[in-house]
Chains A and B, each alone.
Chain A
Amino acid sequence: MGAYVRRRLLQAALTVLGVMLLTFVLFRVIAGDVSAQYLGPRATEQDRQRWLAQHGLTKPLFVDTHHAPWSKAFWDSQFVNHLVDSVTFGGRSFRTHERLRDIIAKRGRYSLAISVPALAAGWVAALVIALVVAYYRDTWLDRTGVFLSVLGMCVPFLAYMILGQWLVLKILPSAAWGLGHTTNIYVPVTIAVIASLGHNVRFYRTIILDEVRRDYVRTARAKGAPLSNILFGHVLKNCMLPILTNLVTAVPFLILGSLLLETFFGIPGLGEQMISSITSRDVPIIAGLTFLTAVIYVLGYLVTDILYAVFDPRVRLQ
């Protein structure tokens, strides 16, 4: 068990390092010179150089070979600074010079306010529906359920958003945009839940039915136990693991809180920050937020794998 955990930790660390390298290459190297966005059309070459120097973009990419390897200046390169900034979330926005930490502290709550309820409500709703549908499997209820789920999966997310907002506008116009009241947040939350229902119900139903088709269930039924007892007593418990791991892998999206919902409904969360940073080429923030989600993702997978190892001995022995 220990060896397994150690191995996974090492892999996770390597991945995190890899993400730092990726964000560096993608956003600093490929995205190129973004000074134009911030300098205005009449900037001279001198202004550009000064701006670049001010933001640390004229430093050598990886190591400064003009100095000795043991001096601090050797390591004062763009890549090293990027590493440090990533880990401490200290990158400064080109636009407002705020640190990423502060932005996260200010805006994280709004993203969480959408994603956390959406995750929980979506999970409960999908599970309940999947259980009902699985209980009545092969009846018309089941078939309708599956049919609706498949349909639900195929409707584009944007359509849910637009339709949802239109409905709200008809019923309760003041809730349609922005955060006039705290309850307004439940509009995008509901839309997120409904949009995810199709896919989740189908997924959970498959897992539950897989479990239900196992021998022990057949035995229990043959012995006369009612299906509902079996469902709640055994099947659900055994299904929990894949369901929970599915849930855990959705955690990274908690923080970015569905970019689309935030931009659409005018919620000032991190997702909206991401979009506006991309539009204004605010590279440190883009890189920092990407890194944040990646780290959470990796952690999520790590937790999942360890959970699996704890509950399923077969995994440990791999």
Chain B
Amino acid sequence: MATKKNSELLDFAALVNDQEKDFKMVQILNEKGEIVDKDHVPDLTDDQLIELMSKMVWARVLDQRSTALNRQGRLGFYAPTAGHEASQMASVYAMDKADFVLPRYRDVPELIQQGLPLYKAFLWSRGHVEGNNYPEDLHALPPQIIIGAQYVQAAGVALGLKKKKAENVVFAYTGDGGTSQGDFYEGMNFAGHFKAPALFIIENNEFAISVPRSAQSAAKTLAQKAVAAGIPGVQVDGMDPLAVYEVMREARNWAIAGNGPVLIETMTYRYGPHTLSGDDPKRYRSAELDELWHQRDPLNRFRTYLEGKGLWTQEKEDALIEQYKAEIKEAINQADKVEKQTVTSFLKNTYEVQPQNIVSQIETYSKKESN
């Protein structure tokens, strides 16, 4: 005779509740510009603090100028970055120039910081191959368009770095939407298995074009997705440059020491549209939400902090803005001077050793293009 069970074997609610409890957002500098975790303020000199703030101002100016240039028809595809300055500039500031960056289309500022000449970034936007002609010592691929593909590639670069015993990491960016892709998991899982030095950064800006973060996953945080791959996951205030910097610096050390990858979720917001190709955020975001995030602005809080330390003035910032505008103007003029593209050169670059069809098409196009 069967005996009656006293209770169910499993408490599913308990299994799912509080999964996010180990992923509390790391913050060092709050939105008022006050240090809230004085024990973990990064060890940056005054000059470095000024340099980091300058880079954030640069990124904001670049965003404003890129938007204007796009509207004037002088730039092509553009994915706005305003709001992401701490997430982007502080993360790249913690990296080495010889570290490998795998950006997506919103991460052009980081790519420039790692050495992509500005005029080439503009050429990429316009759709000119010269924009992807990377010097050998630029450890990067052009911005990834296929969401998530950079994550599996990062695992490969990281394994390569490990095999070469290089003291470097690869760092790859995706957005909150990108975490729904299979490649997101495969990249983390491969790098985790191989204990390869990869830093996977999710810039969680709340919306994947129009779809809110809450509609991407039942997971309460994206950082906790690291658990499935057996690697550390961290959520950090992406509007706080000190927290982003410190998390990235420590993650880099952990990875280089041979411990494997880290997943970092930066909580940020894009003030503008997804791209300048017709997206209207009013269709899916409220003015209240916009306002909430503007109050967390990374530049405002860092400016307040630095002014409090006597390291920053409005005059200094204004002078920098003028300098950056001039550099951008020069770069766009340089982009204008680049020679037109030819199909002949595309054909020549498709294979190292040219097959018959390519040889015959080179002949056709070089005649056509010499006229």
Q: Is the pairing of A and B real?
A: no
**Which B residues contact A (CB, under 8 angstroms)?**
none
**Which A residues contact B (CB, under 8 angstroms)?**
none
